[in-house]
Amino acid sequence: MNDTNPLLGLHILLTLSTNSDTKLLDYTAFIEKVAVLLHQYGLEKVGDTHFIFDNASFTSAVCLKESHICIHTWPEIKSVTLDIYLCNYQKDNTQTVRDLASDFTAYFDATVVTQHEIFR
């Protein structure tokens, strides 16, 4: 039985692999990319937080009016984990979530190790 509500939207969980050490260690460039993408897709940021580790890797949560984007970089294993969730309250954001996943994969010049789509 499928109890999902179409208003709740799509949640994508990604694990990426990349050789781009620079991007795994550059929180400022990442958050600038997020700002560009939010503008491009008409999404509204309501807050964010981050932490930069001793090795310059970072974790960040960007809270959106539509939900969130969370990331953790792992330069020691050349990986990125991303969590992208948008609700469909005001419009269908299903394709936007998929597009953001592709945009972040391209940004990190990465390959997808795992990608899970969860319809809420």
Per-residue pLDDT tens digits for 65-96: 999 999 999 999 999 999 999 999 889 999 99
pLDDT in tens, 37-53: 999 999 999 999 999 99
What SS3 class is residue 102?
A: helix
> Do 18 and 93 form a contact (C-beta atoms < 8 A)?
no
Express as a percent the part of the chain with pLDDT over 90: 90
- Buried-exposed string 70-79: b where 16+ CB fall within 10 A, e elsewhere: bbbbbbeebb
> Which alpha helices (H) appear in 1-90, and where do they start and end?
21-24, 27-41
Q: Are 28 and 9 in contact (CB under 8 A)?
A: no
Across the chain, mean pLDDT equals 95
> What dotted CATH number matches 20-119?
3.60.90.10
What residue segments make up the domains of the chain, in order of their start? 20-119
Q: How confident is the model at residue 3 (pLDDT cuts 50, 70, 90)?
A: low
